[in-house]
Structure 1
Amino acid sequence: MIVTRGLSVDTEAAEGERPQRLDDVTFTVERGSFVALVGESGSGKSTLLRVLSGFLPFSRGEVRVAGMTLAPGTCDEALKLQLRRKAVLVLQEPNLFPHLRVVENVTLALRHVRGLGDGAARERAMAMLERLGVAEKASVYPGELSGGQAQRVALARALVLEPAVLLLDEPTSALDPKRKVELGKLFGELAAGGTTVLAVTHDQGLADAASARFTMHDGRLTETG
């Protein structure tokens, strides 16, 4: 579950960069919902995801994610660590470790965060890679992947952790139409199983697959439902 009340962010931008702003954002995403977050580029969608995942402090308001309450200002490191065990952010840029093979990228957090043994971690990782259609790439390095393949590996890395909340930034941007449809179905299945999914997207098909759509404009939430 995700709840915000009067959430506001106002940061100064470095030269040549756009300031990150949210203005009085209030909404609720119930547990087991799949919500698409849409709006023009620069409207605050990615900024909102960064706040919800604990990567960006907020100025005012209330935020609750997966049963945890965040306070305005800099997040406590211990709290951020706890939050990221429950709420996983998948960025548009995959950010895979280039020196690790695909399967090693996916098993890393399973072993070091979830405490799984090598065998159990590999089994879970391979099952998820298979589900996302990239199992045949398990032994290659990220530099050998296409953009769409890398995006699916990054998603597999998040999904194997079985988070309570899944935050996605343009998860279908590098995928072909068939894969986009498959991911829309997958996110729906995850929501049906109790995962809360919030996906920033410009993909009309993915937005249509969601159970609800939120629209942002100029740092404000202008439409829900």
Structure 2
Amino acid sequence: MKTGRFLLLNTLIFIVIVALGIGGYYYYFNQSNYIDTEDAKVAGDVIPVSADSAGKLTEWKGQTGTVLKQGEMVGKVAVGTETKNITVPVSGTIVQSKVNEGQMVAPGQPLAQVVDMDKLYILANIEETDIKDVSVGQEVDITVDAQSDTKIKGKVTQMGLATNSVFSLLPQQNASGNYTKVVQRIPVKIEMESYPNGIVPGMNATIRIHK
């Protein structure tokens, strides 16, 4: 009986040691070859649509989801006795409409927001301690939370030149005199080779950069 318990105990200890060894090797392998982060989102260049002149919006075709080509008319503004056209500055999809027909608008007022849904990319925030291992051209594995079963390939195309905190509306203050160091994050732009329909700006993503 004692021999059986001794063998069982030794077997359990052996299994634990092997599991720890495998886990340690897996952790070391990942740390040596990849940079992983869940601090990433799908993004796109958001371009505003605006009128050149003040007047009444007599026609508006800028409903959310409308796809337009660069220079295409999206609405009209009545300026005195004239029908001045409002056109979109780039090809893309209306992702936000801010006005309604009949409304008075001002010059330069954002009437809608346009995004080219064929040119979406990933913005990932990389910790400052890892940024030395990131460079333009590195391969990236991407998973978007909304379609987690789809693996997307990408490449690093642009490195941020300042941390996110530099542009924060509420920068860190040290009023008490007690300083606590916080790991800073630097934005990195990642272009996707291809991606399925249904992915939109703002969706959460997880990325793995190959060192």
TM-score band, normalised by the shorter chain? under 0.3
> By percentage of residues, which structure has more helix?
1
Give the alignment's TM-score, normalised by structure 1.
0.21
Give the TM-score normalised by the residue count of structure 2: 0.21
Q: Which of these two proteins has the greater Rg computed from alpha carbons?
A: 2
